[in-house]
Structure 1
Amino acid sequence: PLQLETPALQKIKKYNTNKIEIEIASYCRDVMERLGQDKMVGCPADFFGIIRDAGLRADISQIRNILKDNWSLHSDKNSDYIFYRIEINGDMSPVKRKGRYLEITKDIVDKILL
């Protein structure tokens, strides 16, 4: 399968990726780069606002399917976590939340964004 990976195939894969999925991955990469970390946490409800602010239409179940089915992420137990929100002016603010969060790693994001 690795022998079949060509630049042309990667380009086709990139164009077939869901716009919502790309927006979530881009947001995660931006947060990780700003924090200097290789992982971040969040739940589908956190990303719902991000998607809406980007001008895309999605519902929670669609975001949940991307995170759990496409990215193969699993929810942790219900606990406190910090979600980082990038404001309109570019500042990043931590928001304390409680819920069943998903841990997103840089490797997963890099695979989606190629």
Structure 2
Amino acid sequence: PLQLETPALQKIKKYNTNKIEIEIASYCRDVMERLGQDKMVGCPTDFFGVIRDAGLRADISQIRNILKDNWSLHSDKNSDYTFYRIEINGDISPVKRKGRYLEITKDVVDKILL
């Protein structure tokens, strides 16, 4: 499979990626870069607000499918976590939440954004 990877194939994959998936990946990368971390955590409901604020339409199940099926992430047990929200003025504010969060790493995001 690695021998089949060409620049043309990568370009096709990039343009075939869902807009919602790209928005979630871009948001995660932005938060990780600003905080200087290699991972972040969140639930599908956290990203629902991000998608809505970006002007895209999606439902929770669609976001959950992207995170679990496309990105192969798994939920941890129900516990406390901190989600980082980017405000309108560009500041990042931590939001304490409780739920079954997913851990998103920089490697996963970089694969989506190429």
Q: TM-score, normalised by structure 1?
A: 0.99
Select between 2-11 and 24-33 the one with higher mean Cα deviation.
Answer: 2-11
Count of residue correspondences: 114
Q: Which runs of 5+ in 1 are unaligned?
A: none
Q: Give the CA deviation at 1:100.
A: 0.3
Structure 2: tracts of 5 or more residues without a match:
none
C-alpha displacement at 1:4, in angstroms? 1.2
- For 1:25 and 1:87, the matched residues in 2 are separated by 17
Percent identical pairs in the alignment equals 96
**Aligned-partner SS, 2:89:** coil
CA shift for structure 1 position 2: 1.0
Cα deviations by residue, 1:20-39 (Å, 9 ceiling, x for unpaired): 00000000000000110100
| Cα distance between partner residues in 2 of 1:49 and 1:92 | 15
- Which residue does 1:73 correspond to in 2? 73
Q: Runs (4+) of structure 1 moved beyond 6 Å? A: none
Deviation per CA, 1:22-68, whole angstroms, max 9, x where unpaired?
Answer: 00000000000011010000000000000000000000000000000
The structural deviation recorded for 1:6 is 1.0
| Partner in structure 2 of residue 49 of structure 1 | 49
For 1:86, the equivalent position in structure 2 comes to 86
Q: Measure the CA separation in 1 of the matches of 2:98 and 2:34.
A: 23
Structure 1 counterpart of 2:96: 96
Q: Distance in 2 between matches of 1:3 and 1:102?
A: 32
Whole-angstrom distance in 1 between the partners of 2:111 and 2:16: 14
Distance 1:59 1:107 in 2: 25
CA shift for structure 1 position 3: 1.4
Deviation at 1:72, TM superposition (A): 0.6
TM-score, normalised with respect to structure 2: 0.99
